[in-house]
């Protein structure tokens, strides 16, 4: 129980990687507060799975692209134990399309949620963690933020941006015993990849040295390590969880 008596906020925890992170932290003893923009039923399923480990868990409806809703999320989280030790910025969206056809709205929506939403959450969490002189912040970026990807200019910009914020905030908060890191998943098995034809999935796997797509739990285990005391001397780092794809 590496995280016993700690409270974690995990944004976008209703399914996929976010749910796996919530469950992994709960398994280590952390109380978990997650948020969702849509899909209350799925979020409550995450809560139910977390509670199986004897921790407190809560789902809060909040759009992290709106600063007032981020404030509400943190207010609800602080009601659980009165403190906050962990923030995992996982919530994100895609609005894919070639740049020449990408609309202002498609670009802005992705930036508002993935980049500005992460900024809003980091800003509020930093105030609490600086006062406590302890904290762990992990942001879910993407291999796309490192390598780029055709048809995802907006998404790549947002995921590259959160890496820049991670490194900058790590320098700001290091003296307060707050670590700030990121994970960069590669091809992970999710609802989106499951909908792809088998031939496409097979081709994706061929591009990966480990010759398979990752599982949400692979990312969750990396996050659980980074928020634990086992990683207390790691900050400003981007950990690729990609089966070697970005080598």
Q: Which pLDDT band, with edges at 50, 70 and 90, does 194 fall under?
A: confident
Strand 178-185 to strand 135-140: parallel, antiparallel, or no bridges (unpaired)?
A: parallel
Please name every residue paired with 8 in a beta bridge, in sequence order, or none if there are none: 32, 86
Q: What is the pTM of this model?
A: 0.96
Flag whether 202 is in a domain. Answer: yes
Q: Which CATH number goes with the domain that contains 109?
A: 3.40.50.720
pLDDT above 90 for 195 = no
pLDDT above 90 for 204 = no
Flag whether 153 is in a domain. Answer: yes
Domain total for the chain? 1
Flag whether 2 is in a domain. Answer: no
Q: What is the mean pLDDT of residues 106-135?
A: 98
Q: Which pLDDT band, with edges at 50, 70 and 90, does 191 fall under?
A: confident
Flag whether 54 is in a domain. Answer: yes
The range of the structural domain enclosing residue 44 comes to: 7-241
pLDDT above 80 for 196 = no
Collapsed DSSP state (helix, strand, coil) of residue 37: coil
Q: What is the pLDDT of residue 16?
A: 95
Q: Is residue 48 within 8 Å of residue 96, measured between CB atoms? A: no
Q: How many CB atoms lie within 10 A of CB 83?
A: 17
Q: What is the pLDDT of residue 126?
A: 98
pLDDT above 90 for 57 = yes
Mean pLDDT value across the chain:
96
Distance between alpha carbon 153 and the CA centroid of its chain, in Å? Answer: 20
Q: What residues are annotated to the active site?
A: 155
Q: What is the pLDDT of residue 75?
A: 97
Flag whether 246 is in a domain. Answer: no
Q: What is the mean pLDDT of residues 212-225?
A: 97
Q: What is the mean pLDDT of residues 71-85?
A: 96
Q: How far apart are CA 61 and CA 43, in angstroms?
A: 9
pLDDT above 90 for 202 = no
What percentage of residues in the chain have a pLDDT greater than 70? 100
132-182 pLDDT tens trace = 999 999 999 999 999 999 999 999 999 999 999 999 999 999 999 999 999
Flag whether 105 is in a domain. Answer: yes
Between 200 and 13, residue with greater pLDDT? 13
Q: What is the pLDDT of residue 154?
A: 97
Flag whether 1 is in a domain. Answer: no
Flag whether 67 is in a domain. Answer: yes
Q: Which residues contact 130 (CB under 8 A, 6 or more apart)?
A: 173, 176, 178
pLDDT above 80 for 193 = no
Range with lowest mean pLDDT among 50-59, 134-143, 181-190, 201-210: 201-210
């Amino acid at each position: 129980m590496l995280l016993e008596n700690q409270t974690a906020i995990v944004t976008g925890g209703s399914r996929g990687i976010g749910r796996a992170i919530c469950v992994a932290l709960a398994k280590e003893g952390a109380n978990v507060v997650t948020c969702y923009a849509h899909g209350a039923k799925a979020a409550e399923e995450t809560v139910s799975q977390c509670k199986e480990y004897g921790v407190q868990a809560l789902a809060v409806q909040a759009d992290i692209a709106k600063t007032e809703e981020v404030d509400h999320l943190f207010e609800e989280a602080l009601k659980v134990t009165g403190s906050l030790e962990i923030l995992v910025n996982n919530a994100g969206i895609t609005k894919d399309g070639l740049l020449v056809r990408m609309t202002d709205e498609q670009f802005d929506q992705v930036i508002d949620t993935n980049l500005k939403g992460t900024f809003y959450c980091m800003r509020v969490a930093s105030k609490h963690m600086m006062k406590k002189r302890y904290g762990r912040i992990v942001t879910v970026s993407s291999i796309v933020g490192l390598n780029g990807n055709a048809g995802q200019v907006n998404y790549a910009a947002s995921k590259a941006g959160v890496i820049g914020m991670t490194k900058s905030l790590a320098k700001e908060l290091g003296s307060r015993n707050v670590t700030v890191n990121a994970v960069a998943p590669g091809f992970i098995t999710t609802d989106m990849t499951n909908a792809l034809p088998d031939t496409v999935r097979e081709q994706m796997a061929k591009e990966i040295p480990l010759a398979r797509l990752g599982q949400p739990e692979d990312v969750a285990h990396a996050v659980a390590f980074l928020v634990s005391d086992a990683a207390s001397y790691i900050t400003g780092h981007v950990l690729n969880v990609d089966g070697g794809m970005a080598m």
